Structure 1
Amino acid sequence: MATARKAPRMVAIWAVVVVVVVVAADLFGAAVARSASARHAVGKKQREFDYFALALQWPGTICASTRHCCAINGCCRSEPLQTFTIHGLWPDYDDGTWPACCRHTSFDMDKILPLKPTLEKYWPSLYCSSSSTCFSGKGPFWAHEWEKHGTCSSPVVKDELEYFTTALDLYFKYNVTEMLASGGIHVSNGKQYALTDVIDAIKCAFGASPQIVCKKGSVEELRLCFDKDLKPLDCLTTTATNENVSKKKYCPRYITLPTYDPIVHANSTREIITVESEVYGYLYTS
């Protein structure tokens, strides 16, 4: 009799397990399909993009997980980074997908040599590993961003130098760290801010809604979107309501902009050449 009474519970448990496995498989399958689609697109003609996303990283969230330092990692500098830094300028499609690796061209550091000091300061790698490039190679963080995204930025951006110059111009013109500060949102190791307040501060200063990616309740990335004339544009996933932003990007109602304590590398004062591996967001990987 005892066995008979337990049978329904066992059936229910197995039903839950099956549902979880099916959902996990669907999510994994979708991720694999998107990855396969991106690989399939490499080197093939792709349609023109619809808008730009300027992706910015919050070092306080990313660098807090640094355990082993190296001279090429911006997180390992003696002075902690306390402003948003550039991840990349990404041409995207309105349907949530994006072009990638549109031309078979290699990154050439000599073409952007005058920008190197500025790039090292405001567009550093926050990792020690090398980045993948479009055609089965490895290289600096900047090489990854140019080959994967910059080559798809035509006709707005026509060459490597213009790609990095355009990204830097937008970064300085629309200073997100200052926008948030003007709205009372400051760097703080513990103070929480309402997600809606963070979004409203950006909308007030920038004129359009951002995209926000969180990690364990802290801002990891913030993205500003632009039309092809480089005018502010509502980001694709934030055009409905502020509540929708939280749901779409898995940010809680209250978020933080944390600081971090750098692990200083012995040779961190020497010239830094930035390299980085992929950074994965909640909505898409870039």
Structure 2
Amino acid sequence: MFAMASLPARLIILPLLLLFGTCNANLIRGGDTPQKPFDFFVLALSWSGTSCSSVKDCCPTNACCSSEVATGFTINGFWPDYNNGSWPSCCDGPKYDQNSISIISGFLNTYWPSYDCISAPACGRFIESDLAFEWDTHGKCASPVLSNQYEYFSTALMLYFKYNITEILLKAGYVPSNTVKYPLKDITSAIKNALGVTPIVKCNGHSPIREIQICFDKTLQIEECPTYAPSKCPSRVKLPIKNVTQVPETTNYLSFRGSLNW
């Protein structure tokens, strides 16, 4: 079954998540290179069953090893993009500070989890977590619309709950299965009928859905995504069940991960 946010949890978080208006678009700088203002946001959602389908080894930082992490779709990223298919990255901005998002850290752990054991370097340096990677690589470039970490991460959570793709598909009868294949056009139509826009659907290999993307303008209104990324999925696709892998007790992955952050 899908792990959904309960109504009380939403009542707690939603008053904390603020809607932000559009600011004047000034030049954003990344290092010494001026970067033009971005055009729109992409909310990228990973299907947890596909993300965990190839996991053989486990660690405490991998969502595939935790039953506490949401099944269905989780947040993969919230990215400022350009209309031509490129995007800004590694812009100037405040340093990642876990304390600034502590009030929503539980929601981030559940709905914006990591599917890795080791964090990738960001902007030429090692970083402490996948959320730090997202902030350094993408979040800083969301200025001036979203100017700090709390605004960036809480806005992504707010949009994730408001446009809940997992619930939309569940209500339309598309449930997780390792064997059943659904018509891609029907899944796309179910989302479009609910949201009024066509999602971008990406797949892994032959048929499992890997990611769904929906787009927003800089006033955070949902809009059609540019057509630069047509789907390469087959006509029938799967929504694999998330299998929870057990964490081995003998491996100290946290220490190993920490050793990379020098």
Same fold (TM over 0.5): yes
Mapped contact 1:75–1:126 kept (Cα < 8 A) = yes
Mapped contact 1:202–1:209 kept (Cα < 8 A) = yes
Q: Deviation of residue 151 (structure 1)?
A: 0.7
The one of 200, 207, 212 equivalent to 1:222 is: 212
Report the Cα distance in structure 2 between the residues aligned to 1:42 and 1:107, rounded to whole angstroms. Answer: 16
The letter of the residue matching 2:85 is G
The letter of the residue matching 1:220 is R
Give the structure 2 partner of residue 129 of structure 1.
118
Q: Percent identity?
A: 42
Q: Deviation of residue 91 (structure 1)?
A: 0.5
Greater strand percent: which structure? Answer: 2
The one of 220, 226, 233 equivalent to 2:223 is: 233
Give the structure 2 partner of residue 259 of structure 1.
241
Whichever of the two has the greater Rg, that structure is: 1
The one of 67, 75, 78 equivalent to 1:89 is: 78
User: Which sections of structure 1, spanning at least 5 residues, go unmatched?
Assistant: 1-40, 239-244, 276-286
Q: Deviation of residue 183 (structure 1)?
A: 2.2
Report the Cα distance in structure 2 between the residues aligned to 1:42 and 1:135, rounded to whole angstroms. Answer: 12
The TM-score with structure 2 as length reference comes to: 0.79
Report the Cα distance in structure 2 between the residues aligned to 1:259 and 1:61, rounded to whole angstroms. Answer: 8
Give the structure 2 partner of residue 203 of structure 1.
192
The one of 64, 67, 72 equivalent to 2:61 is: 72
The letter of the residue matching 2:224 is D
User: Which sections of structure 2, spanning at least 5 residues, go unmatched?
Assistant: 1-28, 258-262
Q: Deviation of residue 181 (structure 1)?
A: 1.7
Q: Deviation of residue 107 (structure 1)?
A: 0.9
Mapped contact 2:176–2:241 kept (Cα < 8 A) = yes
Deviations 1:121-163, CA, capped at 9 Å, x for gaps = 1111011111222232232000011111111112211111100
Q: CA RMSD in A?
A: 1.9
Greater helix percent: which structure? Answer: 1
